[in-house]
Structure 1
Amino acid sequence: MTSGTFGIWSVIPLIVAISLALTTRKASLALFLGVWTGGSIYHYQESTTLLADIFTDLGIPAAEPLSLVLGVFVAGIWGLVQSTDWVVASVGDSIFNMQIVIFCFLLGSAVAMIWRLGGTHAVTTWATERVDTKRKAGLAAWMIGLAMFFDDYANSAIVGTTMKDISDKLQMSREKLSYIVDSTAAPVSTLTLSSWAAFQISMIEAGYSATDLTTAETPSSFMIFLQSIPYNMYSILAMAMVVIIVVSGRDYGEMLTAEHRAATTGKVTRDDAEPMQDVNQELGTPNLEDPRLRVFIVPVLALVVSMVAGVAWSGYSSGAEFYDVIINADYASSLVIASVIMVATTYYYAYRLDLQPIGESVETSIEGFALMIHAVAILVFAWAISEVIVALGTGEYVAGYATAFLSAELLIVVVLLVGSFMAFTGDSWAAMGSLTPIAIPIAWELTGSHTMVAVVVGAVFSGAIFGDHTSPISPSTVLSATFTGADLIDHVRTQIYYAVPVMLVSITLLLVWGYGSPLWGRSTWAAVALLPVGILLLTGIVYVLSRFDARRKGIDPTTAWTVEQTRVSETSTNDPRHIEHEQPLTEGGRVENSPDTD
């Protein structure tokens, strides 16, 4: 059976994977079952045809009905074999995916070395004297995330590694830190010159090549990208939402429960949570005799500087302009090389400061690889799900229905929603690669306006990021949970409460912009003017929902962030998560004894 002929059945593997992941909280198992379901569907018709032929040849009565029933079992076995092929192909046939796997393992090695050498303890001690509230910690994570705009994977690794122990010491839940990291990393990468932007610019060129425009009539893809930025409203408002949540100190939904748990019990994760990595538990006690701040700072800087240098080197050619360098750079290879240099820097300090012998450093690196096994397994299964989606033609099936009858105004929203669905399958770049070359010719055909092309480009970006933020099989979501040490499903379940309102506000603003064109035309400045309105709407939503949910649960929506009610124990020098705390008060002034009232 060929791709694109499975109809509604093509959506089933995705439903199985997502629903099982959210309900069982076992992401690896859920993803594998989703891949297996896809393999079974892929081979079901072939199985029934094969059985019907065999039964007919043997003269068995009711051959066709019998083959339909028994075909399920044969397809299940055949699908299991096919699943193995897809899992292997998801890494073996993709240089990019293999580079990301290597990057993850090397980052695990670097994290383990920094921990064992006492660098993490040193930076935690230093930061505790300066970052002494959750609000400051949240803003620090957000600002570092903005600075690491060049790649979302490197962003998550750097910010998560830097802030995890600091946030633990301040009793910020891992779910909250993971949300801050995830909702900053990918969004800022879509708004700046980054690996995301380079890929999308190339897709813009592909989209224009499918129109009837001549080369002279085709605008610069880079200029279309710049013009699309105000219309990438989800990404902009997602970053604004982080600031609203952090500054206001208000939470709602499962994040309120998580923050209340962390503030009242000191537990930064649930009792039965499965953190993507737990350095404290898996690597033991670090070097506390002579912790050096440089052991943390220099390797992180080495990663950043090496990454930027690698991008410049790989993208440069004789006579190349800055734009050409950004477009032609090899970001994945640069990540791998930068992570190697980061690991080498930790080895240098281990030797130079006589902190541990080379043999012990090698053992530490191997332990660091082990830290990443869970994350890499989920990444591989997530990529395999993407193989399933391609084989079953899920994207084409959804897009075919979504683009049947469109006006220019509705096209924006449809592109946004289709992009969200395609990215929800686990690969936002695949969503951009598939949707952008389709959406651009449609936008041009409907309107003949380059501004509308920029609008749909921004909508594709927004949809891709929203799909990432709500999917437990998205690589960027997996890595955000990994480097912050959060439980993956807990991260998704808490973040979705904030992602959905941002998406709804973004859709509203884009509809207002589109249907308000008789008043202001297709003006980019009108879109810019709508963004502050969106921020005000989100502020009101956070205030209303936090008040409502806190009353429903019987707790103060800001209790978890009250600085005066939480103090760091001076005696807890070895475990940054051990914190003495006073019982927080509810709005009525009573002591709240229940740590988790959800």
Structure 2
Amino acid sequence: MDGATTVGFVSILPPLIAIVLAFWTRDTILSLAIACVVGVLMAGEGLLGFPNLMKEALGNASFSWIFLLEIFIGILIAFFQRTGAIQSFTDIISNKNYSRKRIGMSTWFMGLFVFFSDYFSPVFVGSTMRKVTDKVKISREKLAYICDSTSAPVSVIVPITGWAVFISGLLIGMGPIQNEAAALDVFTKSIPFNFYAVFSVLLVGLVTSGIIKDFGPMKKAEKRAITEGKLIRDNSDPLISKELTNIAPYFEDKLLSITWNFFMPVLLIIVIAVGTYIGLGSAKTMEAFLAAAIFLGIVMRVQGIPVKDIMDTAMNGIKGIMPAVMILVFAYTINELSEQMGTANYLVQVTESWLNPGLLPAITFLLAALISFSTGTSWGTFGIMIPIAVPLAFSFAGGDVNTVVLATIAAVAGGGVFGDHCSPLSDTTILASTGAAVDHIDHCRTQIPYAVVVGVIGLCIYLALGLLV
């Protein structure tokens, strides 16, 4: 199979099966596995095609990178708990007697601050604030929503992130854009037109402040947490195992220095990630987490924790992160299958004949949203849609950078974030569920209504803009 071609309508069935089964059975791993096997059979590869597909999907630098990132995240969270760092941070916040609304707003602000990595943000904010939000009875679903909606949506509207560099790089050579500086300038000008990302971030602030009341499944989750004290649904399956959530501090009678055991590792992550982005043009997030884990492991030994206990804690961290890793394994596999079957190409083929200057931003946003939701990848969506939609926008604009061009670029970016933001196949959605320690499908179910509302608003604005061009 060749990703440049498509097998037609059949190509959308594997991701569709995965998503429907995931919401129906609430078992994401099983649903993804079934969808992969069915897709391989549909493609005529036979059962032996399944292990071959997994080798192709997982035997690459991209999966190795996120696999190692997850491992180091698990180890660091375990170290935080074994040293009592999370408990110390919780005690500091708790002593302030902040209200439920204040805690929610603080979580939102923390997500806005950690803008440089959509991988780091949801795990860091979720694992750091979880005990604090638990204490004021904010549901884990709400915490995951806050973490998720301040990761990818923020990263794509800040012009100094890896997202900006990636999208800008795709624009070079289109119309009058001939170099990196011109591409970044055009991307920056398109940010105000990225209505989905901007409104997604604003909606979190409005919801956490109470200006907009919770609705849909999130309203039920919040009511359950407040009235029954149940932070997660009965019989739910949090996307983080007990090995990682039940780690007690090593010293029961004292908590170790929060400066060395929490703030210094976090500062190290930020310095390495931001420093490498500025110096090398790419944030070395995985390397930052590795350095922080090694640093904290050394600090733990200096503070008197035995080497065997440190290693056992690290292993518990790895075990605890495995549920998320398994979902990533099958998500990458089904994404590879979708690419081979030409899922995105099929969606483009059935819609490109409708395009005209007025409808281009709206159709582009809708198509990018469908592709990203069905494949779980925003960057993959950017790579597919920008080479198709942006040259078409320039042709409508006579080669100039006008509103149609800027709105089309923003529509691709916003539509790509939509799926990355709420698809059960998305790695950042998985990381948000991991950080909040909540059932992955519960997180998706409660977040999708908010995403859809913002998506509809963005779509309507793009349609209105189309009437003006």
Query: Shorter-chain TM-score: which interval?
Result: over 0.9
CA separation of 1:244 and 1:455: change in aligned 2, threshold 3 A: same
Instruction: State the alpha-carbon separation in 1 of the partners of residues 130 and 233 from structure 2.
Output: 16
> Conserved in 2, the CA contact under 8 Å of 1:160 and 1:181?
yes
> Which of 452, 456, 459 lines up with 1:500 in the alignment?
452
TM-superposed CA distance for 1:345, in Å, is: 2.3
Instruction: State the alpha-carbon separation in 2 of the partners of residues 2 and 139 from structure 1.
Output: 47
TM-superposed CA distance for 1:353, in Å, is: 2.1
Alignment-derived partner of residue 22 in structure 2:
21
TM-superposed CA distance for 1:409, in Å, is: 1.7
Give the partner amino acid of 1:293: I
Q: Is structure 2 residue 446 aligned with structure 1 residue 482?
A: no
Instruction: State the alpha-carbon separation in 2 of the partners of residues 124 and 25 from structure 1.
Output: 31
Offset from partner CA, 1:47-81 (integer Å, 9 cap, x none) = xxxxxxxxxxxxxxxxxxxxxxxxxxxx6xx1x32
TM-superposed CA distance for 1:117, in Å, is: 1.1
TM-superposed CA distance for 1:271, in Å, is: 1.5
Range that drifts further, 28-37 or 278-287: 278-287
TM-superposed CA distance for 1:165, in Å, is: 1.0
TM-superposed CA distance for 1:131, in Å, is: 5.7
CA separation of 1:219 and 1:352: change in aligned 2, threshold 3 A: closer
Q: Is structure 2 residue 321 aligned with structure 1 residue 372?
A: yes
Give the partner amino acid of 1:372: I
Matches within 5 A, 1:207-246: 208=174, 215=178, 220-246=182-208
Alignment-derived partner of residue 55 in structure 2:
88
Alignment-derived partner of residue 459 in structure 1:
411
> Conserved in 2, the CA contact under 8 Å of 1:131 and 1:137?
no
Instruction: State the alpha-carbon separation in 2 of the partners of residues 100 and 470 from structure 1.
Output: 19
Instruction: State the alpha-carbon separation in 2 of the partners of residues 236 and 428 from structure 1.
Output: 16
- Using structure 2 for the length normalisation, give the TM-score: 0.94
Instruction: State the alpha-carbon separation in 2 of the partners of residues 499 and 215 from structure 1.
Output: 35
Range that drifts further, 227-236 or 405-414: 405-414
Q: Residue 151 of structure 2: SS of its match in structure 1? A: helix
> Conserved in 1, the CA contact under 8 Å of 2:361 and 2:411?
yes
Q: Is structure 2 residue 302 aligned with structure 1 residue 345?
A: no
User: Radius of gyration: which is bigger?
Assistant: 1
Offset from partner CA, 1:546-587 (integer Å, 9 cap, x none) = xxxxxxxxxxxxxxxxxxxxxxxxxxxxxxxxxxxxxxxxxx
> Conserved in 2, the CA contact under 8 Å of 1:283 and 1:367?
no
TM-superposed CA distance for 1:203, in Å, is: 1.1
Instruction: State the alpha-carbon separation in 2 of the partners of residues 131 and 106 from structure 1.
Output: 33
Instruction: State the alpha-carbon separation in 1 of the partners of residues 84 and 242 from structure 2.
Output: 12
Q: Residue 150 of structure 2: SS of its match in structure 1? A: helix
Give the partner amino acid of 1:441: P
- Using structure 1 for the length normalisation, give the TM-score: 0.74
Q: Is structure 2 residue 103 aligned with structure 1 residue 137?
A: yes
Q: Residue 249 of structure 2: SS of its match in structure 1? A: coil
Offset from partner CA, 1:471-495 (integer Å, 9 cap, x none) = 1011110011111111110000000
Q: Is structure 2 residue 104 aligned with structure 1 residue 153?
A: no
TM-superposed CA distance for 1:282, in Å, is: 4.9
TM-superposed CA distance for 1:262, in Å, is: 0.7
Give the partner amino acid of 2:111: G
Give the partner amino acid of 1:113: F
Alignment-derived partner of residue 150 in structure 2:
184
**Runs of 5+ in structure 1 lacking a partner?**
44-74, 316-328, 518-598
> Which of 260, 263, 266 lines up with 2:223 in the alignment?
260
Offset from partner CA, 1:415-455 (integer Å, 9 cap, x none) = 10111111111111100011111111111112223122221
Give the partner amino acid of 2:12: V
TM-superposed CA distance for 1:215, in Å, is: 4.7
Alignment-derived partner of residue 330 in structure 2:
381
Give the partner amino acid of 2:422: T
Instruction: State the alpha-carbon separation in 2 of the partners of residues 5 and 202 from structure 1.
Output: 26
Instruction: State the alpha-carbon separation in 1 of the partners of residues 394 and 423 from structure 2.
Output: 31
Give the partner amino acid of 2:268: A
Q: Is structure 2 residue 368 aligned with structure 1 residue 419?
A: yes
Q: Is structure 2 residue 374 aligned with structure 1 residue 408?
A: no
> Conserved in 2, the CA contact under 8 Å of 1:116 and 1:283?
no
Instruction: State the alpha-carbon separation in 2 of the partners of residues 272 and 128 from structure 1.
Output: 29
CA separation of 1:462 and 1:214: change in aligned 2, threshold 3 A: closer
Alignment-derived partner of residue 68 in structure 1:
none
> Conserved in 2, the CA contact under 8 Å of 1:228 and 1:454?
yes
Instruction: State the alpha-carbon separation in 1 of the partners of residues 181 and 73 from structure 2.
Output: 40
User: Which structure exhibits the higher relative contact order, with contacts defined as CA atoms closer than 8 Å and separated by 6 or more residues?
Assistant: 2
> Conserved in 2, the CA contact under 8 Å of 1:379 and 1:475?
yes
Q: Residue 442 of structure 1: SS of its match in structure 2? A: helix
Give the partner amino acid of 1:348: I
Alignment-derived partner of residue 118 in structure 1:
84
C-alpha root-mean-square deviation of aligned residues, in Å?
1.8
Instruction: State the alpha-carbon separation in 1 of the partners of residues 206 and 82 from structure 2.
Output: 36
TM-superposed CA distance for 1:37, in Å, is: 1.5
TM-superposed CA distance for 1:224, in Å, is: 0.7
> Conserved in 2, the CA contact under 8 Å of 1:385 and 1:426?
no
Alignment-derived partner of residue 401 in structure 2:
450
Q: Residue 151 of structure 1: SS of its match in structure 2? A: coil
Offset from partner CA, 1:122-156 (integer Å, 9 cap, x none) = 11111112262221111111111111111100111
CA separation of 1:480 and 1:459: change in aligned 2, threshold 3 A: same
Instruction: State the alpha-carbon separation in 1 of the partners of residues 225 and 178 from structure 2.
Output: 58
CA separation of 1:280 and 1:290: change in aligned 2, threshold 3 A: farther
Instruction: State the alpha-carbon separation in 2 of the partners of residues 243 and 255 from structure 1.
Output: 15
Range that drifts further, 251-260 or 157-166: 157-166
Give the partner amino acid of 1:431: T
Range that drifts further, 234-243 or 445-454: 445-454
Instruction: State the alpha-carbon separation in 2 of the partners of residues 436 and 151 from structure 1.
Output: 22
Instruction: State the alpha-carbon separation in 2 of the partners of residues 203 and 5 from structure 1.
Output: 23
TM-superposed CA distance for 1:297, in Å, is: 2.0
TM-superposed CA distance for 1:396, in Å, is: 0.7
> Conserved in 1, the CA contact under 8 Å of 2:6 and 2:343?
no
Offset from partner CA, 1:230-266 (integer Å, 9 cap, x none) = 1111000000110111111621111011111111121
CA separation of 1:436 and 1:214: change in aligned 2, threshold 3 A: closer
Instruction: State the alpha-carbon separation in 1 of the partners of residues 2 and 411 from structure 2.
Output: 30
Instruction: State the alpha-carbon separation in 2 of the partners of residues 172 and 343 from structure 1.
Output: 29
> Conserved in 2, the CA contact under 8 Å of 1:175 and 1:258?
yes
TM-superposed CA distance for 1:348, in Å, is: 2.6
> Conserved in 2, the CA contact under 8 Å of 1:180 and 1:242?
yes
Q: Is structure 2 residue 465 aligned with structure 1 residue 516?
A: no
Instruction: State the alpha-carbon separation in 1 of the partners of residues 448 and 27 from structure 2.
Output: 18
Alignment-derived partner of residue 542 in structure 1:
none
Instruction: State the alpha-carbon separation in 1 of the partners of residues 432 and 391 from structure 2.
Output: 35
Q: Residue 404 of structure 1: SS of its match in structure 2? A: helix
TM-superposed CA distance for 1:513, in Å, is: 2.3
Alignment-derived partner of residue 387 in structure 2:
437
> Conserved in 2, the CA contact under 8 Å of 1:310 and 1:338?
no
> Conserved in 2, the CA contact under 8 Å of 1:469 and 1:492?
no
Give the partner amino acid of 2:355: L
Give the partner amino acid of 1:41: M
Give the partner amino acid of 2:372: A
Offset from partner CA, 1:198-222 (integer Å, 9 cap, x none) = 111111115x1xx5x6959x98101
Give the partner amino acid of 2:80: I
Over the matched positions of the two proteins, sequence identity in percent amounts to 30
Give the partner amino acid of 1:346: L
Matches within 5 A, 1:543-558: none
Alignment-derived partner of residue 32 in structure 2:
31
Give the partner amino acid of 2:202: A
Instruction: State the alpha-carbon separation in 2 of the partners of residues 335 and 342 from structure 1.
Output: 11
Give the partner amino acid of 2:148: D
TM-superposed CA distance for 1:88, in Å, is: 2.2
Instruction: State the alpha-carbon separation in 2 of the partners of residues 167 and 278 from structure 1.
Output: 19
Alignment-derived partner of residue 293 in structure 1:
258
Instruction: State the alpha-carbon separation in 2 of the partners of residues 290 and 432 from structure 1.
Output: 50
